Amino acid sequence: MHSEKIGWIGTGVMGSAMAGHMLKAGHSLSVFTRTRAKAEPLIAKGAAWCENPKSVAEASHVVFTMVGYPDDVEQIVLGENGILSAAKSGTVLVDMTTSKPSLAEKIFQEAEKKGVQALDAPVSGGDVGAREAKLAIMVGGTQETFNKILPLFKLMGETIAFMGGPGKGQHTKMCNQILIASTMIGTVESLLYAARSGLGPEAVIDIIGKGAAGSWAINTLGRRITASNYEPGFFIKHFVKDMGIAIEESKQLGLSLPGLALANKLYVAAMAMGYENLGTQALYLLLERMNERGPDTPVA
């Protein structure tokens, strides 16, 4: 793919690394994030700073967004100084935030009115996947636009799939988060059991992580737990946001998902304990504290 004028909005834990791959590949990059200091490493490598999303759109052919919450996405894309207020016909907008499927559909429709092509393309893989360009990217929109942006997706991920029309990328990410939610409970409970029974948690991960119980959660986040590393690869507060979207969507689909509901309850309790800015593996700290008070302690 020839050099593109790329805009990037949102340079947090994952966004900064993802945008960095664009620079490394030789593309020009215009960036905006609410806290300029978070963009400084990219600016030092040659990215141009923009004062707002509108300025990013004016300077770019393709604009990526990777922010925190659906409200952020809506303001950045559809707000007074948002991307669509200035994006030229033919621009491609790619939202990589985990957001509401209904918002992805709305953005697609509003973008289409301006001749702008929109994709919803949430990712999975956390900070490690972002740094190593090994993300899974699930995309909704049109096949034509997906094919056009695929070379850029390949700079950030290894597993990339077109899932269908607008919103289908976000629906796929909800499937991902629903699976992770219950898996994280199992990961934490397994390691608590290992510690209480006198086993070496690392040795336990070495063996069960290669069998039927193996998962990214136990092999990656489990090892962070054993190292008492609760730094965020993915914030608890953002995971609670994602589970909230999944619960809302499930109700609209007439689904009851008790595993998701339990995980959400536990993570909300973790936020109440002040863990919202830690990584999702900090669920271990909550269950550890619960068990200090006795196994029958209510969640919240």
Q: What is the DSSP string of 94-139?
A: EE-S---HHHHHHHHHHHHHTT-EEEE--EESHHHHHHTT-EEEEE
Provide the whole-model pTM.
0.92
Residue 299 belongs to some domain of the structure: no
Clarify whether residues 271 and 204 are in a common domain.
yes
Clarify whether residues 114 and 51 are in a common domain.
yes
| Pairing outcome for strands 62-65 and 135-140 | unpaired
Clarify whether residues 114 and 200 are in a common domain.
no
Boundary-marking domain end, from 165, 191, 225? 165
Clarify whether residues 12 and 76 are in a common domain.
yes
Residue 83 belongs to some domain of the structure: yes
Q: What is the DSSP string of 188-200?
A: HHHHHHHHHTT--
Closest CA to 82 of 114, 47, 55: 55
Residue 160 belongs to some domain of the structure: yes
Residue 116 belongs to some domain of the structure: yes
Q: What is the DSSP string of 262-287?
A: HHHHHHHHHHHTT-TTSBGGGHHHHH
Q: How many helices (H) and strands (E) does the chain have?
A: 14, 9
Domain range for 207 = 171-292
Per annotation, catalytic residue among 54, 168, 173, 241: 173
Give the alpha-carbon dihedral of 138, 139, 143, 148, to 10 degrees. Answer: -100
In this structure, which amino acid lies at residue 216?
W
Residues of the chain with pLDDT under 70: 1, 293-300
State how far the Cα of 134 lies from the Cα of 263, in Å rounded to an integer.
26
Q: Is 176 exposed, middle or buried (0-12, 13-18, 19+ CB in 10 A)?
A: middle
Residue 111 belongs to some domain of the structure: yes
Per-residue confidence (pLDDT) for residue 54, from 0 to 100: 97
Clarify whether residues 183 and 233 are in a common domain.
yes
Which CATH number belongs to the domain containing residue 127 in this structure? 3.40.50.720
Clarify whether residues 126 and 98 are in a common domain.
yes
State how far the Cα of 105 lies from the Cα of 179, in Å rounded to an integer.
24
Q: Is 250 exposed, middle or buried (0-12, 13-18, 19+ CB in 10 A)?
A: middle
Residue 188 belongs to some domain of the structure: yes
Any idea what DSSP says for residue 259?
Answer: H
Any idea what DSSP says for residue 297?
Answer: -
Q: Mark whether 237 is an active-site residue.
A: no
Which CATH number belongs to the domain containing residue 221 in this structure? 1.10.1040.10
Clarify whether residues 247 and 196 are in a common domain.
yes
What tens digit of pLDDT does each residue of 217-244 get? 999 999 999 999 999 989 999 999 999 9
User: In sequence order, what are the residues at sequence separation of 6 or more whose Cβ sits closer than 8 angstroms to the Cβ of residue 245?
Assistant: 70, 98, 99, 100, 174
Clarify whether residues 20 and 139 are in a common domain.
yes
Residue 297 belongs to some domain of the structure: no
State how far the Cα of 209 lies from the Cα of 217, in Å rounded to an integer.
9
State how far the Cα of 7 lies from the Cα of 13, in Å rounded to an integer.
18
Clarify whether residues 59 and 134 are in a common domain.
yes
Clarify whether residues 13 and 121 are in a common domain.
yes
Boundary-marking domain end, from 165, 189, 217? 165
Per-residue confidence (pLDDT) for residue 13, from 0 to 100: 87
For the chain, the domain total comes to 2
Clarify whether residues 16 and 128 are in a common domain.
yes
Boundary-marking domain end, from 147, 165, 183? 165
Clarify whether residues 161 and 178 are in a common domain.
no
Residue 298 belongs to some domain of the structure: no
